[in-house]
Amino acid sequence: MSLLPILRFPDPRLKKVAAPIERIDDRIRRLARDMAETMYEAPGIGLAATQVDVHQRLIVIDASETRDQLLTLINPEILSQDGLQICEEGCLSVPGIYDKVGRAEHVVVRYTDLEGAAQTVDAVGLLAVCLQHEIDHLQGHVFVEHLSQLKQVRIRNKLAKQARITA
């Protein structure tokens, strides 16, 4: 396994819409393992393939406190959502930036697992937020797009300044 480089906002590759995965093979299984290792090392609770510049519909999530409940979702699709919760979100592609975002409180997501079996997950709370956040990535969206234009400009400026300082 190996750590993968994570794209940083506002990298235009984060805007690409991910393609469905047609076949689950060793390449996809290796990608899922590498993504999980990258997510845990970062550390984060979710990572979409888009964030590591692979534009296929694959996400890994572990929103458990014990960090031992890895979910690998291939071609995830939100079947239903209801309610509203406001949570502070962050993102491995937008390091150091956190802000409140409104998301559905409850979601049901259909996906395929690494063995090719159809699955559903019925989620509330943090897991529901994480699923919506990572599925957004597959659709070419970053959480800051849920914020006002002013906040987006400030975030871009802050990240540009951080990049100049570390360069």
Active-site annotation, residues: 134
70 close to 62: Cβ distance less than 8 angstroms: yes
Q: How far is CA 26 from CA 32, 55, 69, in A?
A: 10, 17, 22
Round to whole Å and give the CA distance between 47 and 44: 8
Among 37, 35, 40, which residue's Cα sits nearest to residue 7? 35
